[in-house]
Amino acid sequence: MIIALRPGTEKKLVDQVVTEVKKLGYQPHPILGEVQTVIAAIGDERSHASLEALATWPQVEAVLPVQRRYKLVAQEGRKTATVVKAHGVAIGGNEPFCLMAGPCSVESEDQLLTTARAVKKAGATFLRGGAFKPRTSPYEFQGLGEKGLELLALAKKETGLGIVTEVLSEAHVDKVAAVADILQIGARNSQNFSLLKAAAASGRPVLLKRGLSMKVEEWLLAAEYVMSSGNGQVILCERGIRTFETAVRNTLDLGAVALAKRESHLPVLVDPSQAAGRADLVIALSRAAAAVGADGLLVEVHPNPAEAKSDGQQQLDLKGIQKLAEEVLPFVKAAGRAG
Amino acid sequence: MIIALRPGTEKKLVDQVVTEVKKLGYQPHPILGEVQTVIAAIGDERSHASLEALATWPQVEAVLPVQRRYKLVAQEGRKTATVVKAHGVAIGGNEPFCLMAGPCSVESEDQLLTTARAVKKAGATFLRGGAFKPRTSPYEFQGLGEKGLELLALAKKETGLGIVTEVLSEAHVDKVAAVADILQIGARNSQNFSLLKAAAASGRPVLLKRGLSMKVEEWLLAAEYVMSSGNGQVILCERGIRTFETAVRNTLDLGAVALAKRESHLPVLVDPSQAAGRADLVIALSRAAAAVGADGLLVEVHPNPAEAKSDGQQQLDLKGIQKLAEEVLPFVKAAGRAG
Amino acid sequence: MIIALRPGTEKKLVDQVVTEVKKLGYQPHPILGEVQTVIAAIGDERSHASLEALATWPQVEAVLPVQRRYKLVAQEGRKTATVVKAHGVAIGGNEPFCLMAGPCSVESEDQLLTTARAVKKAGATFLRGGAFKPRTSPYEFQGLGEKGLELLALAKKETGLGIVTEVLSEAHVDKVAAVADILQIGARNSQNFSLLKAAAASGRPVLLKRGLSMKVEEWLLAAEYVMSSGNGQVILCERGIRTFETAVRNTLDLGAVALAKRESHLPVLVDPSQAAGRADLVIALSRAAAAVGADGLLVEVHPNPAEAKSDGQQQLDLKGIQKLAEEVLPFVKAAGRAG
Amino acid sequence: MIIALRPGTEKKLVDQVVTEVKKLGYQPHPILGEVQTVIAAIGDERSHASLEALATWPQVEAVLPVQRRYKLVAQEGRKTATVVKAHGVAIGGNEPFCLMAGPCSVESEDQLLTTARAVKKAGATFLRGGAFKPRTSPYEFQGLGEKGLELLALAKKETGLGIVTEVLSEAHVDKVAAVADILQIGARNSQNFSLLKAAAASGRPVLLKRGLSMKVEEWLLAAEYVMSSGNGQVILCERGIRTFETAVRNTLDLGAVALAKRESHLPVLVDPSQAAGRADLVIALSRAAAAVGADGLLVEVHPNPAEAKSDGQQQLDLKGIQKLAEEVLPFVKAAGRAG
């Protein structure tokens, strides 16, 4: 930590800070500058108390942390990227670009199986589909729940696709993990640490969506919760952040994908459907995701988007997912990966 | 819902939309404009399927909802404001301005009792203090857990203050509700709908923090989850939103307080400590909160902020809370309320 | 500046940074930490080259500035607050709370004079009104231009009110300054440095609106452009920032007002009309502005808002401004000021 | 426009709105809904007064515009994309992907010519470089001004590259246009309408950066200012928007690029340097920009970024731009364009 004192702070008040820094377990190095004194506090910021509270002292202008706060998710010191394995598919590293696709919500056997076959044909290896749905309003469709899980199990059996689906409640982790090959933590639960720990304990790989207003550092620290709970099979998923722009639902942040790939060894997927919130931008954003270095996509697909029970405006139809797969492939190859 | 069609859409394609609108249960009223056709779809938007998915159709330019999505929390049609009652204290309506104060985290018996006595002296009727703490990093202090709850029970017994404390997990609701007079749902769990429903079921009043990037509408809909679960004792709490500004931790949005008071009959508190993230702005923001019409404050206080185990930089010391109470009082009175 | 090196950087690469820091005119102090080496670079950051570009070097993790970048606008080292004087009225310091009010746009003699008389009666000392209007679309009403200035001059003569009006172009500074007692720089021009310098050169006090996505530091640095051009008569004006919230036009940031008052000696006003973008929240926000410590208000008023040529939805009518003045007064007094 | 009335509004008050809508020149169509009455107001929203001010009336819940506000920049009704021609190079449509590169600031003859030769070798057709620099602080390097323009003219002569450079002031338009083949309007001036009109009048193509917190609609409306001033040669340039994320300088919004290409016929470039604010992400973002469908790039390059007089941390060195060109090419080809 670096503690910057206010210009003109007298020695007595500098010493007071030095003493407190020592008391809190750091080794203080005061440096007299032209304009102000700064105190470098040496010590591992992750194992010591934070010094940030010193900012309440009148003579302290600012306290600046200098160390990264995450360890297990960090690229630094790692030789190889993490490859997550689920349902026989490898995700991340130099493995093929991974397509996960399916409806926003599981609505019926027919809807799910029709979609599953189409996305498989388009090259997807995982079927996505919500059984438990987090909806902004209590009056909106909340998903089929356990019935939805049964349908996912059926679709898996019928098509051989792996299953990725969201878990909303600690109380559902076991049930969901019995069907899902990958547990999805949604954006609204990305800092629901109780749920993160429960999902980690299931032993299933965890796909962690970035929260709506989550800094990349916070996203990595949420992944650190999973890893420090003993589960190293974490997939990050960028799905757009909340900004002032109203023409799209969220702003897809591909810089965050590039950054997460630099800072961490974990695979990073992109969800262009949630990001755009409108189907007409999904293919363009998918191309860009492949180009920026993402390890795969999570895409919403519905046989008849206009009658979808949730988020129809952002779902591709069955021709759309085929078109997406074809249009994205050249960019996957340009990125030096198998499609 | 209003469906705006693209300029120049031919009749056949207009009719296609009209037919679909009927199929989805609304009554369609097409209106031929100078520039474009719009179709007004009559029907209760809360009980019917959403028409927003029609935006995926090529001839549709935009779909605009016109109805409010919340019912139970809405001011409209209500004669009186909700007054929440907890531990013999009435909050909201024309009741006295309510001060809740205490440490960010419960750290020890001494720390808690010292603080409790000081905040009581300053006029607080509730003691706040985290036993279970949601921390961005897994390596930060996570709270004393059940031991923390015991200390809160002790402080309640010693001082007679009511207790408000955060519940982080569905699994803890019963334990927390056994001690707390008001269950707090934190900003990071503000759309953790499983937890909202579990908290509602406890029968305790629920204090619902606004999420970091939650629109006022979404905040009210989260409250609607609690109310539609049968618990009408909800207190809203604005605690700052996430913006681009880095000089403060969050941007306190007092316009949202004014708006929530207009749109809803629920009491609204303000947490200036989480908002500012720095102690030196807490009193000024508290004055403004009283002036804008908030029903009370939730303030962080610690006997020695520099050595606090969490968020020391934003906690007032024991003199600070006394000063706050004194400085805020004239504004409470100017707002026509008892202090 | 503090330069944090990556953990495990070898000595040779540390020395390389040390050498470059010296070359750029700073005195380097390397400190070996437990986790990483940091180099404190001593020197006035305002007169030396920035070291931030060192962040491109592979061994550098981060470069952290520690000094404030503004001088003339800074509170630090000042004994007294700046009091701006215009048209015989003193603004800032302990002077009375200042009310500036008037229409968004000057539309006609009748509209302007009717409004001017009403705002004077309500206690305003300045009449605001746009002659040159910055409009998002070229098809919207752009103001009456010079004719608008003439009407402002007439209203000044008739009522004795001071005039504050926006200048949009360097080419108009002289004309506007011939009529206006205070030159307003709008939010969209808050970093139009050519205009800031031209306005400063007019010798008139400058009212500087905060930009839509301007950090407080950037706002103060924009004011520093005016002051360093030799014009110390600067008034800051917070008018809401752009966030994700769509229920209001902008999010009024009263924390920024408190912060600007702490960091700077300049007067700070609040424009609740632009902030809310809706008339029904203007009085509540004005109360809060007085309570947080603002030095006055800039409020939009129109005799018939529904037919205003710009921004009618946020303008108070003539009764509204009277009501505002009455409702704000107790909060001004609670803040220890004359109304 | 759609005017939604509050539920339960009595007929007299509905009629009042109907009358006002007529008075303002629209044709009113009231529709009685299950929950509330809505009034569709037929008329060209661009040539009539806005009805938004009706939102101040107590019986009005919301006023919703339904028409697009831009005309000349709109894709709708156009058969072909605009191809901007400057210095013999065609930009947009199906023309080759265009690389503009060069230093943030022009610093010296040697720095500029060295860079110019390197970017030409990498395939750039335009040299960028700031002569007049908009800097957040008045104490930062403000550019060489006219001397910088002379050096740009020299570099053009030496290398044959076209010149794109920023104009900061209406007073400089002629001087800058004498040297520049394309006039750049920076993000901070993106709603400086006086400057936009002056730049348009120069007859030079205008490269319009998106503002830091500009919605896509506002960006297109700023372009509409240029086009409605008689200059159809406009290039849009996305350079990142301001969000809560602090790990990068701005958040590159590639969804906005896809959207601008859909909504408008104008060419769209991407500036990955300003967006990331850090050199290590520039190539990844450039790849994504090509994939999303951008018409070219504007990239910052410096022979020795660590000693650059502005923004060194985001500038590529001479090897870097070569590497960028090589790495981006496969993505340009995958997008079906010449490099």
pLDDT digits (tens, 9 = 90+) for B87-129: 999 999 999 999 999 999 999 999 999 999 999 999 999 999 9
Beta bridge partners of C168: none
Residue boundaries of the structural domains of chain B: 2-64, 84-334
Question: What distance in Å separates residue C80's CA from the closest CA in chain D?
Answer: 24
Residues of B in contact with D77 (CB under 8 A): 7-8
For chain D, the first-to-last Cα distance in angstroms comes to 45
Please provide the average confidence, as pLDDT, over all residues in chain D.
Answer: 95
Using the beta-carbon criterion (under 8 Å), do A2 and C38 form an inter-chain contact?
A: yes
Per-residue confidence (pLDDT) for residue D320, from 0 to 100:
98
Q: How many residues does this entry show for chain A?
A: 339
Per-residue confidence (pLDDT) for residue A8, from 0 to 100:
87
Least confident of A109-113, A208-212, C56-60, C257-261: C56-60
* C-alpha pair distances (Å), B152 with each of A103, B108, B274, B339, C255: 47, 10, 21, 25, 32
Residues of B in contact with D45 (CB under 8 A): 35
Per-residue confidence (pLDDT) for residue A130, from 0 to 100:
97
Interface test with C, best of A42, A214, A241 (most C CBs within 10 A): A42
| C-alpha to C-alpha distance for D237 and D186, rounded to whole angstroms | 10
Please provide the average confidence, as pLDDT, over all residues in chain B.
Answer: 95
Nearest to D258 among A259, A284, A290 (CB): A284
User: Whose structure tokens read 């722009």?
Assistant: A245
| C-alpha to C-alpha distance for B42 and B65, rounded to whole angstroms | 11
* pLDDT over 90 at D318, yes or no: yes
Residues of B in contact with D76 (CB under 8 A): 6-7
Within 8 A by CB and 6+ apart from B192, the residues are: A188, A189, A192, A195, B185
Per-residue confidence (pLDDT) for residue A77, from 0 to 100:
75
Closest CA to B71 of B200, B220, B287: B220
| C-alpha to C-alpha distance for C135 and A190, rounded to whole angstroms | 40
Identity of residue A54: L
Per-residue confidence (pLDDT) for residue B178, from 0 to 100:
98
Q: Residue D201 corresponds to which tokens in the numbers above? A: 């009048």
- Domain B2-64: give its CATH code: 3.30.70.1140
Using the beta-carbon criterion (under 8 Å), do C45 and A36 form an inter-chain contact?
A: no
Q: What is the 8-class DSSP label of residue B14?
A: H
Question: What distance in Å separates residue A188's CA from the closest CA in chain B?
Answer: 6
Q: How many CB atoms lie within 10 A of CB A47?
A: 9
* pLDDT over 90 at D55, yes or no: no
Q: Residue C323 corresponds to which tokens in the numbers above? A: 């009501």
% of residues, chain B, pLDDT over 70: 100
Model pLDDT for residues B44-75, shown as the tens digit of each residue:
777 777 788 898 888 998 888 888 889 999 99
Q: How many CB atoms lie within 10 A of CB D322?
A: 17
Nearest to D44 among B6, B34, B242 (CB): B34
* pLDDT over 80 at D34, yes or no: no
DSSP collapsed to 3 states, D286-329: HHHHHHHCCCEEEEEECCCHHHCCCCHHHCECHHHHHHHHHHHH
% of residues, chain A, pLDDT over 70: 100
Per-residue confidence (pLDDT) for residue D332, from 0 to 100:
98
List chains adjacent to chain B, taking adjacency as at least 3 C-beta pairs closer than 8 Å.
A, C, D
- Residue B32: pLDDT band with limits 50, 70, 90: confident
CATH number among 3.40.1380.20, 3.20.20.70, 3.30.2350.10, 3.40.50.20, domain B84-334: 3.20.20.70
Interface test with B, best of C97, C248, C251, C292 (most B CBs within 10 A): C292
Backbone angles phi, psi at C335, to 5 degrees: -80, 0
What average pLDDT score do residues D14-31 get? 92
Nearest CA in chain A to B224: A138
A141, A135 Cβ separation under 8 angstroms: yes
Give the CA-trace dihedral at C2, C7, C10, C12, to 10 degrees.
Answer: -20
Residues of D in contact with C188 (CB under 8 A): 191-192
Question: What distance in Å separates residue D201's CA from the closest CA in chain A?
Answer: 30
| C-alpha to C-alpha distance for A203 and A182, rounded to whole angstroms | 10
* C-alpha pair distances (Å), A257 with each of A269, A270, D290: 8, 8, 16
CA quadruple B318, B319, B323, B326: dihedral positive or negative?
A: positive
* C-alpha pair distances (Å), C150 with each of A335, C106, C153: 64, 10, 5
Using the beta-carbon criterion (under 8 Å), do C64 and A64 form an inter-chain contact?
A: yes
Q: What is the 8-class DSSP label of residue A112?
A: H
What average pLDDT score do residues A143-157 get? 98
* pLDDT over 80 at A145, yes or no: yes
Nearest to C194 among D46, D169, D229 (CB): D169
β pairing state of A98-102 and A296-300: parallel
Per-residue confidence (pLDDT) for residue A296, from 0 to 100:
98
Q: List per-residue pLDDT tens for chain C, 339 residues long.
A: 889 998 889 999 999 999 999 998 899 999 888 788 989 998 877 777 778 889 888 899 888 888 888 999 998 878 899 999 999 999 999 999 999 999 999 999 999 999 999 999 999 999 999 999 999 999 999 999 999 999 999 999 999 999 999 999 999 999 999 999 999 999 999 999 999 999 999 999 999 999 999 999 999 999 999 999 999 999 999 999 999 999 999 999 999 999 999 999 999 999 999 999 999 999 999 999 999 999 999 999 999 999 999 988 999 999 999 999 999 999 999 999 998
Task: Give one DSSP letter per residue of C78-132, joined into a string.
Answer: -SS---EEETTEEESTTSPPEEEEE-SB---HHHHHHHHHHHHHTT-SEEE-BSS
Closest CA to C162 of C203, C102, C109: C102
Helix axes of D216-228 and D193-201: crossing angle, nearest 10 degrees: 40
Model pLDDT for residues A38-79, shown as the tens digit of each residue:
899 988 777 777 888 898 888 998 888 888 889 999 998 788
Residues of D in contact with C212 (CB under 8 A): 212-213
Interface test with D, best of C193, C209, C218 (most D CBs within 10 A): C193
* pLDDT over 90 at B134, yes or no: yes
Nearest to B215 among C247, C281, C335 (CB): C247
Interface test with D, best of C56, C71, C228, C273 (most D CBs within 10 A): C56
Nearest CA in chain D to B76: D7
What average pLDDT score do residues A221-247 get? 97
Model pLDDT for residues A175-194, shown as the tens digit of each residue:
999 999 999 999 999 999 99
Residues of C in contact with D212 (CB under 8 A): 212-213
Backbone angles phi, psi at D2, to 5 degrees: -115, 130
Q: Residue B230 corresponds to which tokens in the numbers above? A: 């049968």
What average pLDDT score do residues D160-180 get? 98
* Chain-centre distance for alpha carbon B176: 19
* pLDDT over 80 at D303, yes or no: yes
Per-residue confidence (pLDDT) for residue C46, from 0 to 100:
74
DSSP collapsed to 3 states, A261-285: HHHECCCEEECHHHHHCCHHHHHHH
Q: Residue C304 corresponds to which tokens in the numbers above? A: 């018939």
* C-alpha pair distances (Å), A87 with each of A55, A126, B32, D256: 50, 9, 54, 36
Backbone angles phi, psi at B301, to 5 degrees: -140, 135
Residues of C in contact with A42 (CB under 8 A): 31-34
Model pLDDT for residues C138-194, shown as the tens digit of each residue:
999 999 999 999 999 999 999 999 999 999 999 999 999 999 999 999 999 999 999
Nearest CA in chain D to A214: D245
* pLDDT over 80 at D39, yes or no: yes
Please provide the average confidence, as pLDDT, over all residues in chain A.
Answer: 95
